[in-house]
């Protein structure tokens, strides 16, 4: 049955380090669809019909792409499995230009978060520390939410088994260490039901949507307006802002740039250095810096 193929595929890929949470859900849905058609092999017609049930074009593309990878795996051992065309629902994905918060805007976020209700609760200190860490260490939302009490050391933070199952240690500036220790002292006085570093008013692990909605509320109260596209800054823009500031502080010689870029890639937990270089072409501030450097180089060359 198709579900047996799915179980084997998921188990094998997880053994090589992939989490496959969404792909598993998607493939199980496809397996049910194929079973209703009494099909034990991947059929292009069925895969396209199943993917086409999604409302958005992007989701149809993603669903079919998941089945294509699955079909390629099965086809290698049984040619009766058909490989659907990967570009049948092709869409051009454009990554949103990051909203780079200035140091003054980040300071306003922290000050505003410190005024969150209720008075006397751990909540204001929770979000000032959380947003501050994301801004000064470039943490992902899930990484900061999943921090445990044991991950905090005198020198920095252990980020364990996050994206791509990579773990890393993040050294922190002494001022950040002081803030984290201040929060940790307050947190340890709370008898929570979890050992997560950041907890909700119910003394449970914070939910991702709670962190996001709180950040949006804080931005609005801090007077940080919407972008040209009418969107509020994203929580992930704190990470983007950290990366851009780190790149702008880099010295200009080629060897120093290469070392700096590699160090930043490691610090941020990127799987490939290309993910870090993306900031150079997607951020207006950095593009202006590059243009100025090129102009100065050309003027010097003419001289």
Pick the catalytic residue: 217, 236, 260, 277? 236
Residue 166 and residue 267: Cα distance in Å, rounded?
11
Pick the catalytic residue: 163, 165, 203, 259? 163
Peptide bond into 118 cis (omega under 30): yes
φ and ψ at 171, to 5 degrees? -65, 145
What would you report as the CA-atom Rg of the chain, rounded to the nearest whole angstrom? 23
* 279 is annotated as an active-site residue: yes
* 239 is annotated as an active-site residue: yes
In order, the DSSP letters of the chain are -HHHHHHHHHHHHHHTT---HHHHHHHHHHHHHHHHTT-SS--HHHHHHHHTTSSSHHHHHHHHHHHHHHHHHHHTT-TTS----TTTT-----PPPP----HHHHHHHHHHHTTPSSTTSSHHHHHHHHHHHHHHH---HHHHHT-BGGGB-SSEEEE-S-GGG--EEEE--HHHHHHHHHHHHHHTTS--SS-BSSB-TTSSBPPHHHHHHHHHHHHHHTT----TTS-PPPTHHHHHHHHHHHHHTS-SSHHHHHHHHHHHHHHHT-SSHHHHHHHHHH-HHHHHHHHHHHHHHHHHHH-
First to last CA, the chain: 73
Pick the catalytic residue: 60, 62, 140, 205? 140
* 140 is annotated as an active-site residue: yes
* 183 is annotated as an active-site residue: no
Looking at the annotation, which residues are catalytic?
Answer: 140, 163, 236, 239, 270, 279
């Amino acid at each position: 049955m198709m579900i047996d193929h799915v179980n084997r595929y998921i188990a094998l890929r997880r053994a090589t380090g992939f989490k496959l949470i969404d792909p598993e859900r998607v493939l199980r849905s496809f397996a049910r669809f194929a079973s209703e058609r009494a099909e034990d092999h991947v059929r292009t017609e069925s895969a396209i019909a199943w993917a086409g049930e999604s409302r958005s074009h992007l989701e149809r593309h993603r669903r079919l792409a998941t089945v294509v990878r699955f079909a390629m795996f099965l086809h290698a051992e049984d040619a009766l499995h058909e490989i659907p065309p990967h570009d049948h629902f092709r869409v051009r994905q454009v990554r949103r230009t990051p909203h780079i918060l200035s140091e003054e805007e980040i300071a306003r976020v922290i000050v505003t978060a410190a005024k969150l209700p209720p008075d006397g609760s751990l909540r204001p200190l929770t979000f000032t520390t959380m947003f501050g860490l994301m801004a000064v260490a470039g943490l992902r939302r899930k990484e900061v939410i999943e921090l445990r009490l044991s991950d905090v050391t005198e020198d920095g933070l252990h980020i364990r088994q996050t994206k791509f199952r990579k773990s890393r240690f993040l050294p922190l500036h002494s001022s950040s260490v002081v803030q984290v220790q201040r929060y940790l002292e307050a947190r340890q006085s709370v008898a929570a039901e979890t050992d997560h570093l950041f907890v909700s008013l119910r003394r449970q692990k914070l939910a991702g949507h709670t962190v996001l909605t709180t950040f949006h509320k804080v931005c609005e109260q801090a007077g940080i307006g919407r972008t040209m596209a009418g969107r509020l800054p994203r929580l992930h823009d704190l990470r983007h802002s950290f990366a851009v500031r780190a790149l702008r502080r880099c010295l200009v010689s080629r060897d120093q740039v290469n070392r700096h870029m590699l160090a930043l890639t490691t610090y941020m937990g990127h799987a490939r250095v290309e993910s870090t270089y993306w900031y150079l072409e997607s951020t207006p501030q950095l593009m202006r810096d590059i243009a100025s450097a090129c102009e100065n180089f050309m003027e010097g060359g003419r001289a």
